[in-house]
Amino acid sequence: MARISIDPVTRIEGHLRIDVEVDGGSVQKAWASCTMWRGIETILLGRDPREGWAFAQRFCGVCTTVHAMASVRAVEDALQLEIPANAQYIRNLILLAHGLHDHIVHFYHLSALDWVDITTIPKADPARAASIADGVSSWPGNSHRELAAVQNKVKGLIASGQLGIFSHGYWGHPAMRLSPEMNLILFAHYLQALEFQRKSNQVVGILGGKTPHIQNLAVGGVMNAINLNSLATFNMDRLGTLQSLLQDLIPFVQQAYFVDACLLAASYPEWFRYGRGVTNYLAVPDLPVDAKATKFDLPGGVIMNGNLGSVRPIQDWHDQPIRAAVAEDVTHAWYMGEGSQQPWKGKTDPYYTDFRDDGKYTWVKAPRYDGHPMQVGPLANVLVGYAAGHPLTRKWTDAALDRIASVHGSKVKPEDLQSTMGRYLARAIRSAMLSDLALQHLQLLSANILKGDDTTYNPPQFPQHEVEGVGMHEAPRGMLSHWVVIDKGAFSNYQAVVPTTWNASPRDQKGAPGPYESSLLANPVADPAKPLEVLRTVHSFDPCMACACHTLDASGREIAQVKVL
C-alpha cells in the first residue's frame, strides 16, 4: 500500500491537494482537499445588492463573468424582478462566448498534455499527419505546411534543452499512447487555440465593455445602450463585428476541438471504464429565450444512480425541489460544527484543524441534494439533455459517438459517458452546442432590436422587509448558485455554492465521498512516483479552486510536489 500526496495538482485554476492510497496498481481510497480558505462571501455582507455583482466577480479571476451573472440573478429573484428580452440575449451571448473560451482553454491548455506526449513530435511524419487530419476534418489549420512548421518549433524547443513549462510533463509514461502524428495534430491545435481564445474574449469585451470583469451588468438588466442609428451605442456595426468573430470561432470549435476530443476518446477507449464516481447528476436550465425566463435553450434536470431513464427535468429557476433540496455539510470541512445547513441559513465560520483522514481535511464544504452527493458540469448538462430528448444535445452527442465508432470500431453508448473520458467528451459536445446557440442568440437579439425594442433595463425596488433569492447559472464547470438574503436594501447573508464545491466536496456526515474522491477509486496507477492517471481523472472535472491569492514568489523555491509516503 502506497500513499501518494499531490500538492498542489498543477495545470488547474487554484489550489487543490489530492491524496490517494494505491494498492495493486489502482487507487483504493482518495481525499480531495482545497488548502485555501473560500470564505470570500463575507465581504458582501452589509453591501448594497445593486453593487454586489461587482464584488462577486472578483471571487475568482477566471470565472469572473459567471459570478457576476449569478449575483444579479439572485437579487432579481429575491425582488421578483423581470428583465427585458434584450438583456437576456446580451447576457446569454456573454455567457456563450465565456463558456466557449473556458472549454477551449481547458481541453488544450489545461489537460491535453495528460494525453499528448510532445517529446515524440520530432518523430512524426507531417505529410502523414496532414492526411490523417484531412480524413476526419475540414479544418484548414491541418495543412502539411502548418504541421511541419509546428514540428520545427517543437524540435527547436527540445534542442534548446529548455522545455520551460513543458518540462513538467510525464513524457514517455507508459499510459501515453498516441502516435507521433496524432501528438503533432493535437499540439498544433494547442497553439492555434491561443488565437481563438482571443476571439471569444473579444465577444465578451464588446458586449461587457471590458473583460475580464464585465462592466455592463445591472440588477434589472444590462447597461448597453441600443440605438441602431448611433455610432456611440450598440448598433448594426457591433452586431456585424460579433457575427464575424463568432463565424471565425465556430469552425475551430466544431472542426478542430470537437473532432480532437472524439479522436482522443477513440484512441484511449479504456478511459470510458474509469472515473465513473458519483452518478447522481444535477444541471440547471440556462440561456432563457424570453424576458420572463420560462423557456430555455439549455435544459436542466436531475438524474439519480446513473439511470438516464429516471431524469427529472427542471423547467425553470423557480423549481421548488432545488430550493428545498440544496444544503451544505461541514462535517469534514474546516468550519465550525457538523451536519448540514440550507445556504440561506448557511454560515462561514472557519475552524482549522490539521489534515485529518477521518476528521476535517479541506476548506470546501460538501453540498448535498436531498442528502446525496451530486456531480455537476458539462457531463451532467449533456446527460440530462440527452435523457430528456433535447434535440440539440442528441444531435451533437450522437455525432460524437458515431465518429468514435468510425475510428475505433466499437460503439460507445451514452451510458458510457459516465467516466473520465466521458467528461472530456461531454465538454466538447457542449462546446459544439454552445457554438450553434451563439449564432442563434445573436439572431434573437438583432431580430428583437429590429422590431423596435431598445429596452435593456427595468429599475429595481427594494422592500423594507427581508427577502430571499437564488441566482442560478449553468457555468462551464457546472451548476452555480448564489443564495442571498436582503434586509432593508442590504445583504444580510450571501452564500455561493460553486460547481467545484459540488465536485471537490469532501465526505459528508454519512461518510459519503464527493465526486472527485469516488471517481478516483479503482483508477489505475502504473507508477506511484508519476501518477499521470490520477491527474487525468482529476483534470477531467476542470477543477477551479479559485478565489486564491495571486502573488509572485521571488524565492524560486519548488512548491509543487508529488510525495510517495
Identify the CA nearest to 265 among candidates 120, 397, 458, 101: 397
Nearest to another protein of 67, 423 (CB atom): 67
CB 482 within 8 A of CB 49: no
143 binds another protein (CB under 8 A): no
Q: Kindly tell me which residue out of 3, 28, 29, 39 binds another protein, with binding defined by CB under 8 A.
A: 39
Nearest to another protein of 375, 493 (CB atom): 493
Label the pairing between strands 478-487 and 467-475. Answer: antiparallel
14 binds another protein (CB under 8 A): yes
110 binds another protein (CB under 8 A): yes
Nearest to another protein of 108, 281 (CB atom): 108
Q: Kindly tell me which residue out of 15, 73, 103, 482 binds another protein, with binding defined by CB under 8 A.
A: 15
Identify the CA nearest to 225 among candidates 477, 505, 449, 479: 449
Query: What single letter denotes the amino acid at residue 228?
Result: L
Q: What are phi and psi of 396, to 5 degrees?
A: -80, -30
562 binds another protein (CB under 8 A): no
**Nearest distance in Å: CB 562, another protein:** 13
Q: Kindly tell me which residue out of 148, 158, 191, 225 binds another protein, with binding defined by CB under 8 A.
A: 191
Nearest to another protein of 15, 368 (CB atom): 15
Q: Cα separation of 229 and 245, whole Å?
A: 22
Where does this chain touch another protein (CB under 8 A) — which range of 74-82, 192-200, 394-402, 516-524? 192-200
Q: Cα separation of 26 and 40, whole Å?
A: 37
Instruction: Give the three-class secondary structure for 118.
Output: helix
**Nearest distance in Å: CB 296, another protein:** 27
Q: Kindly tell me which residue out of 34, 69, 95, 105 binds another protein, with binding defined by CB under 8 A.
A: 105
Q: What angle do CA 472, 474, 480 make, to 5 degrees?
A: 50
Query: What single letter denotes the amino acid at residue 10?
Result: T
526 binds another protein (CB under 8 A): no
Q: Kindly tell me which residue out of 18, 22, 34, 62 binds another protein, with binding defined by CB under 8 A.
A: 62
Q: Cα separation of 221 and 73, whole Å?
A: 9
201 binds another protein (CB under 8 A): yes
Where does this chain touch another protein (CB under 8 A) — which range of 11-19, 130-138, 373-381, 500-508? 11-19
Where does this chain touch another protein (CB under 8 A) — which range of 13-21, 338-346, 483-491, 528-536? 13-21
Where does this chain touch another protein (CB under 8 A) — which range of 38-46, 393-401, 458-466, 485-493? 38-46
- Measured over the CA atoms of residue 174, residue 175, residue 180 and residue 183, the dihedral's sign is negative
CB 457 within 8 A of CB 85: no
Where does this chain touch another protein (CB under 8 A) — which range of 6-14, 281-289, 416-424, 461-469? 6-14
Nearest to another protein of 155, 295 (CB atom): 155
239 binds another protein (CB under 8 A): no
Nearest to another protein of 36, 325 (CB atom): 36
Nearest to another protein of 166, 355 (CB atom): 166
Please write down the HEC assignment for all residues of 129-188.
Answer: HHHHHHHHCCCHHHCHHHHHHHHHHHHHHHHCCCCHHHHHCCCCCCCCCCCHHHHHHHHH
Residue 466 grid cell: 427581508
Sites for another protein among residues 420-439 (CB under 8 A): none
> How long is the chain?
565
**Order of all β-strands in the sheet with 490-497:** 467-475, 478-487, 490-497
Other beta carbons less than 10 A from residue 410's beta carbon? 8
Residue listed under C-alpha cell 455537476:
376
554 binds another protein (CB under 8 A): yes
Residue 168 grid cell: 513538467
Where does this chain touch another protein (CB under 8 A) — which range of 34-42, 225-233, 264-272, 424-432? 34-42
Other beta carbons less than 10 A from residue 158's beta carbon? 15
**Nearest distance in Å: CB 517, another protein:** 21
**Nearest distance in Å: CB 293, another protein:** 28
Q: Kindly tell me which residue out of 526, 560, 563, 564 binds another protein, with binding defined by CB under 8 A.
A: 560
Q: Compose the 144-183 pattern: x for residues touching another protein by CB under 8 A, - for all others.
A: ---------xx--x------xxx-----------------
Q: Cα separation of 302 and 297, whole Å?
A: 17
197 binds another protein (CB under 8 A): yes
Q: Enumerate residues 6+ apart whose C-beta is below 8 A from 143.
A: 130
Nearest to another protein of 410, 551 (CB atom): 551
Other beta carbons less than 10 A from residue 148's beta carbon? 17
Q: Where along the sequence are the contacts to another protein (CB under 8 A)?
A: 8, 10-15, 35-37, 39-40, 42-43, 54-55, 58-62, 64, 101, 105, 109-110, 153-154, 157, 164-166, 191, 194-195, 197-198, 201, 210, 212-213, 546-557, 559-560
